[in-house]
Every structure is written in structure tokens, then in C-alpha cells.
Structure 1
Amino acid sequence: MSLNVVTLVGRVGGDPDVKYFESGSVKCRLTLAVNRQSKNNDQPDWFNLELWGKQADVAANYVRKGSLIGVKGSLKFDSWKDRNTGVDRTSPVVLVDRLQLLGSKRDSEGGSAESSGYADDF
């Protein structure tokens, strides 16, 4: 049996980075700050998120820096060669399957999406 499931709830670290492709595909990248459940942890853990299709459209339209969101997806690793050194590099990325907008409408600064509900339901 194998299992690759990531579930996170946190605040978005910056406005979405959205790319539209000639094929009609949409890709959105976000960073997410998640606080650990410990008494003496002042710094959040940061995660890179990648969304495609409908979830990417919803993120582009309704998610902004500071938005509270929940995501479910799988962990993947992006790989590349460093241009300067030629060394192989990798970076963990959460490939998001489901996006949930959390918080109040006030938090979203004028967004018209429901305050909760999966992007699959849009």
C-alpha cells in the first residue's frame, strides 16, 4: 500500500502567481504559512503549492496575501539543474487537488466567493 496525502490549513504568503497557457490550461503557485501545534514555535512552516484548472482559477480570483485557506493534495518534487553550478536540485511542492476558502468575507477584501466551500463546487 502507498499513500501520498497532504492536508494543510494556513495563511497565504503572497498574491497568487498565475500563468495562462495557449492550450487553455491555468497554473497557479502560492506559498502557505502553517503554524505548528507547539508552545515555543514562533516561526511557521512554509509550503509551496501548485494548483491547476478550476482550483487555479478560483485561487486567482479569490485568494490574496493573508487569506486563510485549506488544501488537500499530494507531495511531489520539482527537479532542475542549477545554472551556475550544474548541481541537481529538488524542491518539495504540494500539488493541490482541493482548495477550500476559509475565514470571513471581510478577510477576502471584497471577494464574492462563499467563505467556505471547495473549489470543486464552483
Structure 2
Amino acid sequence: MFHEITIIGNAGRDPEMRYLPDGTAVTNFSVAVNTKSGKTQETTWYKCTAWGKRAEMVNMYLTKGRQVFIKGQPKLEQWTSREGKPYAQIAINISEFRLLGSRDDGFVSAPDGDNAPLETEEDDIPF
């Protein structure tokens, strides 16, 4: 079975990149998605992970507060604190990443596959 999640939200912090012993780049960051129901606003946080060339792109261009489009495979991570309190979070293994915002902010997309060339596209605004 395969499942996928798509979110649009804001980066909660600057990304953190590291390299695995085999040289693979891994970048982690959080994304907040705000939803409104009447007068109530709810924020859902997602832990996002990018790999390879995509990880390097995320680390290079994403900053705290920036709006971002994320698509990937979700996984529920659960753990118990030392005090015995249970915790859970939704983690997303990113398959598609796009920065959102004004034309001046640009548009950056990293295609699937670590060896695929990086792409930079302009917004398709007709003016």
C-alpha cells in the first residue's frame, strides 16, 4: 500500500542539514499548518525530512517562516518520555518540495531521485 500527504504551511525553524557516513545529505525541519474553524485557529506541526540533492536545496533556500508546499509519505512517530508521558507526531519523508511566495521569492523544485538535475522554474504569472 502507498499513501501520500500534501501540506502547505510555514517553516517553524531554519532547516538542519547533516551528512550520513556514506555522504548522503539529510535535512530536517518543521512545518506548521494553520486551519480555522469559526473563530478558532488550530496549528498542526509536521516533522519533515529531505534526502540527497533535495536536502541540499531545502537547506540552501528554506528559512524560518517561509511558506512551503510539501508532498511525501507520512509516518506516525510515537514515543514515551522518561516521565512516562506518551507523545506522537506526524513525520513526512519528502518527495516534492516547493517554496511559495511572491515572484521575487522565486520557485525552487527538486525532482525525485538523488542524481536528477536540480530545476529552477519561474512562476507562470501572465504579466
For residues 72-95 of structure 1, give each alpha carbon's deviation from its aligned partner in whole angstroms, at most 9, with x where no partner exists: 00112446675x368987543111
For residues 1-122 of structure 1, the aligned pairs below 5 Å read: 2-78=1-77, 84=82, 91-104=89-102, 115-120=106-111, 121-122=118-119
In 1, Cα distance between equivalents of 2:30 and 2:38: 24
For residues 4-41 of structure 1, give each alpha carbon's deviation from its aligned partner in whole angstroms, at most 9, with x where no partner exists: 11000011000001111231101111110111253323
Query: What TM-score results when the alignment is normalised by the length of structure 1?
Result: 0.76
State the identity %. Answer: 26
Contact 2:76 2:89 in 1 (8 A): yes
Which amino acid in structure 2 is aligned with residue 93 of structure 1?
A: A
Contact 2:9 2:68 in 1 (8 A): yes
Shifted more, 33-42 versus 57-66: the winner is 33-42
In 2, Cα distance between equivalents of 1:41 and 1:51: 32
Change in 2 beyond 3 A, CA 1:41/1:81: closer
Aligned residues: 113
Structure 1: stretches of 5+ with no match in the other structure:
109-114
Change in 2 beyond 3 A, CA 1:42/1:79: closer
Change in 2 beyond 3 A, CA 1:19/1:80: farther
Which amino acid in structure 2 is aligned with residue 119 of structure 1?
A: A
For residues 57-84 of structure 1, give each alpha carbon's deviation from its aligned partner in whole angstroms, at most 9, with x where no partner exists: 11110000011110100112446675x3
In 2, Cα distance between equivalents of 1:80 and 1:65: 26
Tell me the SS of whatever aligns to 2:35.
coil
Task: Indicate the RMSD between aligned Cα atoms, in angstroms.
Answer: 2.4
Which amino acid in structure 2 is aligned with residue 41 of structure 1?
A: T
Query: Shift of the alpha carbon at 1:104?
Result: 2.5
